Amino acid sequence: MNIIEVCVIEYPGQVEAGNITFRQPGNDILIDTWNVAGVPQPTEAYLNSLIPSLLPTYLLNQFKSQSIMWIDALLLSTAITNSFESELDFISYGLSTNLQEKGTARNYIAWRDAVNATRLSIIAGIQNNGNPIPTQSQFLALLPAIPSNPPAFVPTGIISVKSILVTSTSTYTPSTGLVGAYVRIVGGGGAGGNAAGGTLGGAAAGGGSSASCSEGYFTAAQIGASLNITIGAGGTVGNQGGTTSFGSLMSVPGGLSGANSANILLALACALGGASPAIGTGGTINTQGTPGGNSCINGVVIGGVSGYGAPSYFGGGGQSRTSAGNGNAGGAYGSGGGGAFATTAATTGGIGAPGCVQILEYIGPTS
């Protein structure tokens, strides 16, 4: 942990907004600019003295991000072990007319939900009870195992299942006979940071963070005759992504922009990726977005790499750059845009990917 991470925690949003910047002559990290309203610039010695007290918060935030990636890898490997190309491919068999295949898919979904619930329980134990932060192997050992030989699915009043993907703001009217729906929503991804041009130096900006994601089951009575869906736009030119909402039942914020980068000459510098946005509300499972990648620029040899756009629940964000150009746009729904890279001419960060709403309707008999 260094004074950059200290400022991210101690002065929320100020580093991401570019109000605090840093330079790194040699091995030391020093404050370059300080524009925090009403707060005098602290010394580097004071910031370093805060590291012991802030280290637990920093390590917990790291664990939150890493545990999401560990779970994503576990879900993918389990799907591949069962001869499916991806988690979504596995889940799609929940629509199968073959009751055994449907039972296997629903068993996988229930196990995935139990894995995510266990992660939240572990985090709560760290925060509330002072439990130690587990290593990757310890964390995976604490997760429930997927049951083998699941029973065939036995429908109880459900005659069909319908999958709907909403990618633009609209009014959702449930299908006739709706019993309930499992809904997943993600906000718009944050944009990558901009990079300033210069005569001799270089600049590499941070990547945008991914949007938060919420999901849950809602009965037909909760949904009503219709409700409004708002789709969060991807962040553009250094802006946060938009909020996605499913009526008043669920809402999730978009990802945050990566930090801009000044043109650097004869020095080393970095620009932070966008921080995780706030957690969503209303879902059975509410997950924060992933931070964007940090950048690094070497103003001595004019080389480096911009920050990558963070992946969302649905997939990867904009790739980082090692040569001059605008940042790469986010790919999957809700993912962050990549940071820009510049030498002589200024460049702009990649736009974040827009959000979406995924609805799985459970439909019963209509007569």
Total-model pTM: 0.57
Rounded to whole angstroms, how far apart are CA atoms 272 and 259? 5
The pLDDT tens digits for 112-166 are 888 899 999 999 999 888 899 999 999 999 998 876 655 544 555 667 889 999 9
What pLDDT does residue 153 have?
A: 43
Would you say how long the chain is, in residues? 367
Structure-token match 């370059």, residue found: 32
Residues ≥6 apart with Cβ < 8 Å to 141: none
CA gyration radius, the chain? 22
What pLDDT does residue 57 have?
A: 84
Rounded to whole angstroms, how far apart are CA atoms 356 and 353? 10
What pLDDT does residue 169 have?
A: 97
Q: Output DSSP code: residue 202.
A: B
Identity of residue 255: G
pLDDT averaged per 10 residues in sequence order, the chain, 367 residues: 88 91 87 92 91 87 90 82 67 61 73 89 90 91 76 59 95 93 96 93 95 95 96 93 97 96 89 95 94 92 91 94 95 96 95 97 78
What pLDDT does residue 316 have?
A: 92
Phi, psi of 352 (to 5 degrees): -75, 160
- SS3 assignment, position 343: coil
Angle between helices 3-10 and 51-81 (to 10 degrees): 90
Tokens of 97: 């007319």
